[in-house]
Structure 1
Amino acid sequence: MTAVEHWAEQLEAWAIPQHVLDGAPASPYAHDTATFAVDDTLDRTVLSAEVARVVLPTTGGSVLDVGCGGGRAAMSLVPPAERVIGVDQDAAMLASFTEAAAAAGVR
C-alpha cells in the first residue's frame, strides 16, 4: 500500500456515515459566515496569535491563512502583519475576509 492509499483509507475511516448525513437538518460541512467574521470580540492575545507574532517581523510581514473563514485568525496578527492572504472554499467567507482586511487597513 502506498502512502497516498494509506492516507485515503484513513480519511475514509473518519468520514461521517451517509445515513447520518442524510438525517441531518443541515450539512455539517457548511458554516455560518458570521461565526468566523471579525468583530469587536476578536482577541489578539490568544496563544496562537502570540506564538505567530514571534516569527513575524516587528513591522511588515505576510500571513497566509488556509481555511481563512472570515479572517479572525489572520486579523489577530494585524499589526504587525501588513499583508494577509486568505484561502477558503466558501465565497462568502472570502468576501468576509476581504472586508476584514480592508477594515484593518492591510493588503
Structure 2
Amino acid sequence: MSALDRWAEQLAGWAIPEHILEAAPESPFALPRNVFVRRADRQLGGPRTPTHHAVLAGLDGGGTLLDIGAGAGAASLPCAEAITHVTSVDTNLLPEFADRAESLGLPHRTVDGHWPQAAEQVGSVDVAVCANVLYNVADLAPFVRALHERTRRRIVVEINAAHPMTGMNPLWQRFHDLRRPDGPTADDAVAALRELGVQPEIVRWQKKAVPTPFPELVETTRKRLCLGADRSAEVAGALRGTTPGIRHMTTLVWSPERTR
C-alpha cells in the first residue's frame, strides 16, 4: 500500500459508526468558536512558534500570505509585521479573522470555502501556511497540488505529531465500548508528501496545552462523544483531574519551486 493510500485509509478509520452518529442529539463535529478565538488571541499576545518563524523567513521582510483553515488567525496574524496582504480561507471564523486583521491595520481578504476547491478564488501568494488542517484531508494530492499552483516562495504546514483525537480514545472505549484508531501521525503525513515529490524540512517542537474552562471542556467532550446533555455528569466525572499536558507539534516547510 502506498503512503498516500495508507494516510487516507487511516483517516477513514476515524469515521463515527453510523448507529452512534444517528443517535447523537447534537453534531459531534462543531467546536465552539471561542476555542479558535482564544487560540488566535493567545498567539497574538505570546511568543512566536516555529511555524511563525518559518512563515516570517518565507516572507523575508515583506510579502503576501495565504492562510488555509485560518480560524481567527493564530498561524498568520502574529506575522503581521512582514505581511503586505493576507488571504484567509475558512468556513466558520471569517468575521473573527477580519476583525483581528483590521485591528492590526493589515490588508486582508476572506474566502468562504474549503481547500482546494477555494483555490480558484485565490490569486498567487508568496507564502502559504496551513495549521492543524491535514488530519481533515484524506486526499492529499489535490490539496498539495493547489498549494503549489498558488504559492511562489514557501509552504508551511503545522500538524500535531499524533492525530489530535487520540486523547479521547479511552473515553470512546468507556462510553461506547469502541476502539478508536491511533493513526495517522505527522510521520505518515511526511511519507505521503514524499510520494508527491515533496521533501519537507521537519521541525519538531512542543508547547504547553492551555486548559479549557472545565464546563466548556465537559460540553465539548460530551458532544464529540455523541452523548446527550443527560450524560454531562458522567463525562465530568471521567474528565475530572485530567491536566492539559504537553502538545507535540511538527512544522513542515518546503519550497514549491523545488517540486515542480
TM-score of the superposed pair, with normalisation by structure 1 = 0.74
- Mean Cα deviation higher: 48-57 or 18-27: 18-27
Cα offsets for 1:36-70 (capped at 9, x unmatched):
12325533511111111111121x31111111111
Letter in 2 for 1:81: I
Give, in angstroms, the shift of residue 25 of structure 1.
5.7
SS at match of 1:72: coil
> Which region of structure 1 is more displaced relative to structure 2, 60-69 or 27-36?
27-36
| Equivalent in the alignment of 1:33 | 33
CA contact (8 A) 1:33 1:96 kept: no
Identity of aligned residues (%): 32
**SS of equivalent to 1:79:** helix
Q: Alpha-carbon deviation of 1:83?
A: 1.1
Q: Which residue of 1 aligns with 2:17?
A: 17
- Of Structure 1 and Structure 2, the greater strand share is in 2
Compare CA radii of gyration and give the structure with the larger one: 2
Q: What does residue 76 of structure 1 align with?
A: 78
Normalised by the length of structure 2, the TM-score is 0.34
Give, as a single letter, the amino acid of the residue that structure 2 aligns with 1:51.
Answer: A
| 1-structure distance, mates of 2:43, 2:13 | 36
AA aligned opposite 1:80: A
Which residue pairs with 1:45 in the alignment? 48
Structure 2 residue matching 1:96: 3-state secondary structure: helix
**Which piece of structure 1 moves more, 44-53 or 9-18?**
9-18
Contact 2:65 2:85 (8 Å CA) reproduced: yes
Paired amino acid for 2:90? D
- How many residue pairs were aligned? 100
What is the rounded CA distance, in whole Å, between the counterparts of 1:44 and 1:56 in structure 2?
Answer: 18
Name 2:237's counterpart in structure 1. Answer: none
Gaps of 5+ in 2: 108-260
Distance 1:25 1:53 in 2: 44
- The alignment yields a C-alpha RMSD, in angstroms, of 2.6
2:66 aligns with 64
Return the alpha-carbon distance in structure 2 between the equivalents of residues 24 and 44 of structure 1.
Answer: 39
Alpha-carbon separation, structure 1, partners of 2:66 and 2:43: 22
Superposed displacement of residue 17, structure 1: 2.0
- Contact kept, 8 Å, 1:69 with 1:97, in 2: the verdict is yes
SS of the residue 2:83 aligns to: coil
| SS of 1:95 mapped into structure 2 | helix
- Deviation per residue, 1:10-37 (Å, 9 max, x gap): 3543322223334556433212222212
Q: Could you give the per-residue CA deviations for residues 47-97 of structure 1, whole angstroms, max 9, x where no partner exists? A: 111111111121x3111111111111110211111211101122xx00101
Amino acid at match of 2:56: R
1:99 paired with 2:99, answer: yes
